[in-house]
Amino acid sequence: MDTVSGGRPAPPRTPGPAAGCLAVLCELLRSRNEFAGPACAVLDDMAAHCREPLRVAVTGDVSCGKSTLVNALLGGRHAAVRWEETTAEVTWYRHPSLPPGLPPGPEHRMAVVPFPLADRIVLADTPGVNTASGRGRVTEDMLSAASDAAASATVLLYLSGAELMGGSRERLRRFVELTRGEYGSGFNIVLVAAKADTCTAPWPSIEENLIAKSRIPGVRAVAVSQQLAMTVRAELLRPGHLATLRTLAGNSELAAAVPGGWHALELTARRTGVAMDALAALAEVAPLPCVTPALPLVADGTIGTLRQLSGFWEELSGLRAVEAALESLAEDSEVLTVNAVTGRLHRLAARLGAARADRIQRGLAQLRRCPHFVALDRRGAALHLRGPALRSVPDGDRAATAALLRGESDGPLPPSALAHWQRLAFQPGRSTEVGRVARLVIEAASAPPPVQAHCSCAETLRKEPRG
Ligand SMILES: Nc1nc2c(ncn2[C@@H]2O[C@H](COP(=O)(O)OP(=O)(O)OP(=O)(O)O)[C@@H](O)[C@H]2O)c(=O)[nH]1
Ligand SMILES: [Mg+2]
């Protein structure tokens, strides 16, 4: 992870030049008299959305462990965690150097925390979607087209159990609609099989099942024990925990009782005269199913220090996989953010009536001619290469094509890859998205990357007659 000295995060990264042009459009619209009133706040937030690192919201049912995961990602106990409905508002955790900004909606608040990924993401903790108190409405608003806060986050970390219930599928489907770009979406969703330590099935099979059940192309899934992740990242491990692990590892009767759960361990501990408070202290920081795989490594000396234990549990917790997914999404922050904010602008236009809608549409049409947007179109297509619709393209050809579309390769596309795309571009019966990607690849293979040094969006947009 990128951190500057002292463990502080590197300076925040903005999504990129196309998002910058979209921010200019939002700011110019906001400065016009005809957009005075409630639309101002929404346009302000859209401009901020374009200028901040990737906005990620952690969502899911009440008490599924959202705040625990947020704390693990933040590396400290910032969000309250309890075994009952707890989180009552949306909190956006942001890099200390970002402008303070205004919260995207009522019942949202901002908090400054220098967490490891703060240079690449802004992280929101949210109330559970199915609260008894009704506070989940603020989260549902972020996922519902009718609200100004809809798609105020670009990426969802959606927590569920090992199964994806109907309500969750419907929410995810709506979010895809809110944030989809030209080439479809789903690339901006990470399904988290939460409290995976409580599941008996192997974690990889849970992840595969979630992806299949979501029926959303492009989603990723990670099984996570957030409790273990928080223990490691919030540095809650103490020498006493390691000493208790050694006691368990050195006593075959006790070690055999651990997989049976707390009750079995308690009975055995009482019989063998082992102190219960030490076992309870260990179980508080590490769910017992995560203790089991550590025991042989403690016994054979592979885990001999707190640092080694911490590294082992960090990997086991699934947190690194979540961070890897977020880092990879942050690489596509520009295209994902522009998709989300463009959708927000279209929905605002639909609510504001014909004259103002026309003004917004003219601005967006102008942006589509901007060289940064042409480049972005290609990056969007590169993102689509990761999805299942293009699995027929061999891996090597896919990698070469992605590099070409991202402007990262100088060389020509291998002839085999070009032939593949030519076939896909004009094959009848192909989905329009596949055909569109294929035609973009062919265009990119024959035309140099668009010049990105300068665009005149801001000047052109400013010349629009004032209302
Ligand atoms: N077994 C297990 N329990 C966990 C895990 N993560 C969290 N918990 C427990 O689940 C309970 C709820 O955790 P929270 O993080 O507050 O859940 P939340 O989703 O933020 O809850 P709300 O804010 O009320 O919606 C707490 O008692 C946590 O200790 C985990 O990975 N495994
Ligand atoms: Mg919470």
Taking only the tens place, the pLDDT of each residue in 436-447 is: 888 889 988 887
pLDDT above 80 (res 412): yes
Q: How far is the CA of 66 from the centre of ligand 2 (A)?
A: 5
Please report, as a single letter, which amino acid is at residue 220.
Answer: R
pLDDT band at 5 (very low <50, low <70, confident <90, very high): very low
Q: Which numbered ligand comes closest to the C-alpha of 236?
A: 1
Query: Does ligand 1 come within 6 angstroms of the Cβ of 136?
Result: no
Q: Is the CB of 62 under 6 A from ligand 1?
A: yes
Q: What's the CA gap between 71 and 81, in Å, rounded? A: 9
Q: Residue 224: nearest ligand to its CA? A: 1
Residue 406's pLDDT band (cuts 50, 70, 90): confident
Q: What angle do CA 425, 426, 429 make, to 5 degrees?
A: 100
Between 185 and 281, name the one with better pLDDT: 281
Q: Could you tell me the distance, in angstroms and rounded to a whole number, from the CA of residue 125 to the centre of ligand 1?
A: 13
Give the integer Cα–Cα distance in Å for 88 and 126: 8
Q: What is the pLDDT, as a whole number, of residue 6?
A: 45
Q: Is residue 63 within 6 Å of ligand 1 at its C-beta?
A: yes
360 pLDDT higher than 90: yes
Q: Hey, how many other C-beta atoms are within 10 angstroms of the C-beta on 116?
A: 18
**Nearest C-alpha neighbor of 151 from the set 140, 159, 135:** 140
The percentage of residues in the chain with a pLDDT greater than 90, rounded to a whole number, is 68
User: Are 384 and 217 spatial neighbours (Cβ–Cβ below 8 Å)?
Assistant: no
CB 310 less than 6 A from any atom of ligand 1:
no
Lowest mean pLDDT among 71-75, 282-286, 307-311, 418-422: 418-422
Distance CA 244, CA 438 (A): 59
At residue 3 the predicted structure's pLDDT band, cuts being 50, 70 and 90, is very low
Give the C-alpha separation, 186 to 215, whole Å.
10
Distance 178 CA to ligand 2 centre (A): 24
Lowest mean pLDDT among 231-235, 361-365, 406-410: 406-410
Q: At what angle do helices 66-74 and 226-233 cross, to 10 degrees?
A: 30
Burial readout 81-111 (b: 16 or more C-beta within 10 A, e: otherwise): beeebbbebbbbbbbeebeebebbbeebebe
Is residue 219 scored above 50 in pLDDT? yes
Q: Mean pLDDT across the stretch 382-397?
A: 82
Q: Is 225 in the pocket of ligand 1 (CB under 6 A)?
A: yes
Lowest mean pLDDT among 259-268, 391-400, 401-410, 444-453: 444-453
pLDDT over threshold 80, residue 450? no
Burial 276-304 (b: 16+ CB within 10 A, else e): eebbeebbebbbbbbbeebbebbbeeebe
What is the rounded CA–CA span in Å between residue 269 and residue 276?
Answer: 7
Torsions phi, psi of 93, nearest 5? -90, 125
Kindly report the CATH number that applies to the domain delimited by 3-224+318-345.
3.40.50.300
Alpha-carbon gap, residue 139 to 436, rounded angstroms: 34
Residue nearest to atom 8 of ligand 1 (CA): 65
Q: Which amino acid is at 375?
A: A
Pocket test for ligand 1, best of 226, 285, 316 (most atoms within 8 A of CB): 226
Range of weakest confidence among 91-95, 122-126, 163-167: 163-167
Ligand 2 centre to CA of 87 (Å) is 4
Say which residue, 453 or 166, is predicted with more confidence.
166
**CA of 90 relative to ligand 2 center, distance in Å:** 9
Q: Which one is predicted more confidently, 183 or 215?
A: 215
Question: Which atom, in ligand 1's list, is nearest to the CA of 68?
Answer: 15
Q: What is the DSSP letter of 14?
A: P
Q: Where in the chain is the domain with CATH 3.40.50.300?
A: 3-224+318-345
How many helices (H) and strands (E) would you count in the chain?
22, 9
Band of pLDDT at residue 211, cut at 50, 70 and 90? very high
What pLDDT is stored for residue 461 in this prediction? 79
Q: Which two tokens stand for residue 174?
A: 């709506």
Mean pLDDT for all residues in the chain: 91
Ligand 1 midpoint to CA 122 (Å): 21
Cα–Cα dist 409/411, whole Å: 6
Judge contact between 113 and 78, C-beta under 8 A: yes
Ligand 2 centroid–CA 172 distance in Å is: 19
pLDDT digits (tens, 9 = 90+) for 50-95: 999 999 999 999 999 999 999 999 999 999 999 999 999 999 999 9
Whether the pLDDT of residue 251 is over 70: the answer is yes
Nearest listed ligand to the Cα of residue 84: 1
User: Is any atom of ligand 1 closer than 6 Å to the C-beta of 161?
Assistant: no
Closest atom of ligand 1 relative to the 126 alpha carbon:
23
